[in-house]
Amino acid sequence: MTTVQTILRWRGPDGGVRGWFGRQPRLVRWTLLAAIAAGAYALPYVGEVPVIGPQIVTEGVDWRTALFNISYFVLLALGLNVVVGFAGLLDLGYVGFFAVGAYTVALLASPNSDFKTNWPWLATVPVAIVITMISGVLLGWPTLRLRGDYLAIVTLGFAEIIRIFAENTTLLRGDRGFSGIPHPPGKHADGTPIFGVRDAGPYYWLGVSLIIVIVLAIRNLDRSRVGRSWLAIREDEDAAAIMGVRTFKYKLWAFAIGACVGGLGGVMFAGQNGFMNSASFQIQFSVLILAGVVMGGSGNIAGAILGGALISYIPDRLRGVEIAGQDAFQYRFLMFGIAIILIMIFRPQGLIPSRRRAMELKDRAKEVAPQ
């Protein structure tokens, strides 16, 4: 137990790597972040690094596809982190927005669609963003008056409604799904398209670029008056209202922004796979993303990225690996469960915690069990 404890407490909220990072001058910090971003872009080639490389790459899954999966999981974790981590709204139906984004692309671009519009992929992106934002507002408008557990239940219902609706309407084609969803534009010098099913690398790089843009946008938002309003709502919604925060409006914004990022994940997913049906949007997916956000460190952008990456990487890494004659992939959910329980016991604020979140957790613990 003690070893587990030490591993999970390898740094406190103020000390360790984060404390050191925070004390560096601005230039050093930005250079380090740029280096991390460059490292992310170079990940498809990590398998060629001797000794370490082969340990990192996935054996049972094409490494570049695994990387692409990580990229849209990270995107989803970032979006959900705005809703859950920043505004403190428990959303259990986040997959619903992912589905709305993916279906928007499919309906507008797939030759199977009744619309017969056959739009190129790129043209569907702005439409998908607008539609997922609207869906966020539409879901939020009646439900954001609810709090805590009640909101969680309603969002859970929303995701199921989307999935069941997709299963049972002819327009959304149920499990027959949509195929032939086009790829993003761009051609190599020899005339072959850059984006395709065969090589997921370009999709991954596109994903990383999107992640960078979204991280910068969300970070700025978090440090603005909007972020401060979210923080106040998360810590004490009544107190926030008394301070003059228009709570409903900011909660709605969190929902819309979260929805929009989740929708973008769906847009990427639909494009890369070329095919999607109603089975792609199971409720477990929402739970998985939420687990990633909480595991990584709810309310912290770096934490959300780490958590989102882990929940996608670990199962892919386990695929095709044998432990004691058993396929490790079969036990991925068991391992997840154990990992989450351990983290919640020893590091409830997540792997890279938000400093404020850690304090809020402590404060709430006091409320539950006064000393």
Partner 1 sequence: MLLEIDNVTLLYGRIQALHGISLTVNEGEIVALIGANGAGKTTTMRAISGLRPIASGRIRFAGEDITKLRADLRTVRGISQAPEGRGIFPGMSVLENLEMGAYTRRDSAGIRADLDRVYGLFPRLKERAKQVGGTLSGGEQQMLTIGRALMSRPKLLLLDEPSMGLAPMLIQQIFSIITEINQQGTTILLVEQNAQQALSRAHRAYVLETGRIVKSGTGTDLLHDPAVKDAYLGVA
Q: Give the residues lining the site for partner 1 (CB under 8 A).
A: 228-229, 231-232, 235-236, 238-247, 355-360, 362-363, 367
Beta bridge partners of 340: none
> Nearest approach, Cβ of 199 to partner 1 (angstroms)?
45
> Nearest approach, Cβ of 228 to partner 1 (angstroms)?
7
Query: Are 140 and 252 spatial neighbours (Cβ–Cβ below 8 Å)?
Result: yes
In this complex, which beta carbon is closest to partner 1, that of residue 151 or of residue 310?
151
Q: Give the integer Cα–Cα distance in Å for 63 and 48.
A: 12
Q: What is the DSSP string of 71-139?
A: HHHHHHHHHHIIIIIIS----S-THHHHHHHHHHHHHHH-TTSTT-----HHHHHHHHHHHHHHHHHHH
Residues 6+ away with beta carbon under 8 Å from 308: 70, 73, 74, 75, 76, 77, 78, 289, 292, 293, 296
> Nearest approach, Cβ of 243 to partner 1 (angstroms)?
5
Decide: residue 260, CB within 10 A, 0-12 exposed, 13-18 middle, 19+ buried: buried
What is the CB neighbour count within 10 angstroms for residue 328? 18
> Nearest approach, Cβ of 247 to partner 1 (angstroms)?
7
In this complex, which beta carbon is closest to partner 1, that of residue 22 or of residue 185?
22
In this complex, which beta carbon is closest to partner 1, that of residue 88 or of residue 315?
88
In this complex, which beta carbon is closest to partner 1, that of residue 187 or of residue 364?
364
> Nearest approach, Cβ of 363 to partner 1 (angstroms)?
4
In this complex, which beta carbon is closest to partner 1, that of residue 76 or of residue 231?
231
In this complex, which beta carbon is closest to partner 1, that of residue 232 or of residue 264?
232
> Nearest approach, Cβ of 361 to partner 1 (angstroms)?
9
